[in-house]
């Protein structure tokens, strides 16, 4: 696929249980990509929506990940002093520092100077609200995301689905 003939397109839709889904793609054939996405959504209990259907439920955010085992108290204090918006600890112990996208690199560099090992940061989409899914809807949502990520043109998939840990554990087993 030639770089000059590709375009970046954002598709939006709803997954099982009404969860919001954003799919960022890079494609040379908009019709083919839309058809593949429509098929993936329909096969897993969702539907492709119109532009703007769910994007209002998400906010762009910079995310810097500090490895599990990092001193949480010190990381939290230093991240806020550097200008971070929030600091979250994932269940696996990784500390996520959330920033304004425009501040991502400055805050990452500040953390490096202070002796932290953040690796690279990334701009992502964070859901403003979540949709809790359980049972069949949760499993179908996980299959939908898996199917979307398997498509060649898909670069990123974002969702506001909140899926219980036990469903995630069963799905990944």
For the stretch 36-59, pLDDT in tens is 999 999 999 999 999 999 999 999
Q: Are residues 115 and 137 in the same domain?
A: no
What is Dmax (Cα atoms) for the chain? 50
Residues 8 and 90 in one domain: no
138 closest CA partner among 17, 54, 55, 2: 17
Dihedral of alpha carbons 40, 43, 46, 50, sign: positive
**Do 38 and 51 belong together in one domain?**
yes
Q: Do 93 and 153 fall within a single domain?
A: no
State yes or no: pLDDT of 2 exceeds 90: no
Residue whose C-alpha is closest to residue 158's, from 171, 149, 170: 149
Q: Are residues 156 and 96 in the same domain?
A: no
Same domain, 17 and 67: no
pLDDT band at 5; cut points 50, 70, 90: confident
pLDDT confidence band for 173 (50 / 70 / 90): low
Residue with more model confidence, 83 or 2: 83
Residues 107 and 69 in one domain: yes
Distance CA 122, CA 163 (A): 23
Q: What is the per-residue pLDDT across 49-103, written as a single tens digit (0 to 9) for each?
A: 999 999 999 999 999 999 999 999 999 999 999 999 999 998 889 999 999 999 9
**47 and 18 housed in the same domain:** yes
Both tokens of 138, joined, read 């949760």
Query: Among positive and negative, which fits the CA dihedral 26, 27, 30, 35?
Result: negative
pLDDT given at position 167: 82
**Residues 118 and 74 reside in one and the same domain:** yes
What is residue 1's predicted lDDT score, i.e. its pLDDT?
A: 46
Shared domain for 62 and 123, answered yes or no, is yes
Identify whether residues 48 and 13 lie together within a single domain.
Answer: yes
Q: Check if the beta carbon of residue 1 is closer than 8 Å to that of residue 21.
A: no
pLDDT of residue 4: 57
CATH of the domain at 72: 3.30.70.980
Per-residue pLDDT reduced to its tens digit, 108-162: 999 999 999 997 799 999 999 999 999 999 999 999 999 999 999 999 999 999 9
Kindly indicate the confidence band of residue 168, based on its pLDDT and cuts at 50, 70 and 90. confident
Q: What integer pLDDT is reported at residue 3 of this predicted model?
A: 52
pLDDT of 14 strictly over 60? yes
160 closest CA partner among 52, 48, 15: 15
Domain that holds residue 166: 3-56+129-172
């Amino acid at each position: 696929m030639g770089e000059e003939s590709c375009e970046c397109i954002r598709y939006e839709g709803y997954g099982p249980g009404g969860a919001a889904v954003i799919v960022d793609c890079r494609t040379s054939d908009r019709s083919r990509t839309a058809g593949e996405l429509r098929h993936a959504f329909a096969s897993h209990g969702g539907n492709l929506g119109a532009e703007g259907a769910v994007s209002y439920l998400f906010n762009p955010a910079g995310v810097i990940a500090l490895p599990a085992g990092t001193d949480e108290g010190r990381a939290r204090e230093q991240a806020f002093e550097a200008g971070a918006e929030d600091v979250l600890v994932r269940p696996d112990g990784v500390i996520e520092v959330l920033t304004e996208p425009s501040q991502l690199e400055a805050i990452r560099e500040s953390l490096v100077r202070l002796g932290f090992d953040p690796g690279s940061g990334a701009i992502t989409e964070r859901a403003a609200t979540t949709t809790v899914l359980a049972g069949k809807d949760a499993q179908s949502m996980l299959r939908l995301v898996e199917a979307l990520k398997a498509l060649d043109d898909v670069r990123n998939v974002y969702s506001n689905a909140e899926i219980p840990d036990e469903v995630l554990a069963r799905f990944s087993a």
